[in-house]
């Protein structure tokens, strides 16, 4: 899987988890939902989000070409 797919999967999971926690545990969890949404929104303009930084450090491939050929990602 590529970085973009991992990012979408993790963001979707966090949204669903925080909605469930907001419903069953405390409405304050909805603030985490807003945080995830705000990060996704700002990343559309800046092309940066905290999760992308973490995934890059974990050497998640940036594109499908790197997945097929197992090319390691350069550290920046």
Q: What is the pLDDT of residues 19-58, one digit of tens each?
A: 999 999 999 999 999 999 999 999 999 988 899 999 999 9
* Element spanning 3, H or E: helix 3-24
Q: What is the pLDDT of residue 65?
A: 67
Tell me which of 4 and 21 has the higher pLDDT: 21
Q: Which domain holds residue 63?
A: 3-69
Please tell me the total count of domains within the chain: 1
Q: Would you state the pLDDT for residue 34?
A: 97
- Contact at 8 Å (CB) between 62 and 73? yes
- Structural domain contains residue 74: no
Nearest to 50 by CA among 10, 17, 16: 10
Question: What is the per-residue DSSP string for 15-46?
Answer: HHHHHHHHHHT-GGGHHHHHHHHHHHHHHHHH
Q: Is 7 within the bounds of a domain?
A: yes
Tell me if 8 is assigned to some domain: yes
Residue 76 has pLDDT above 90, yes or no: no
Contact 10, 28 (CB under 8 A): no
Q: Is residue 42 part of a domain?
A: yes
Residue 11 has pLDDT above 80, yes or no: yes
């Amino acid at each position: 899987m590529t970085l973009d797919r991992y990012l979408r999967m993790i963001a979707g999971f966090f949204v669903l988890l925080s909605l469930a926690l907001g419903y069953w545990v405390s409405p304050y969890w909805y603030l985490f939902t807003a945080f995830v949404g705000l990060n996704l929104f700002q990343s559309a303009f800046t092309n940066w989000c905290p999760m992308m930084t973490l995934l890059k450090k974990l050497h998640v491939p940036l594109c499908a070409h790197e997945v097929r050929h197992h090319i390691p990602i350069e550290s920046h």
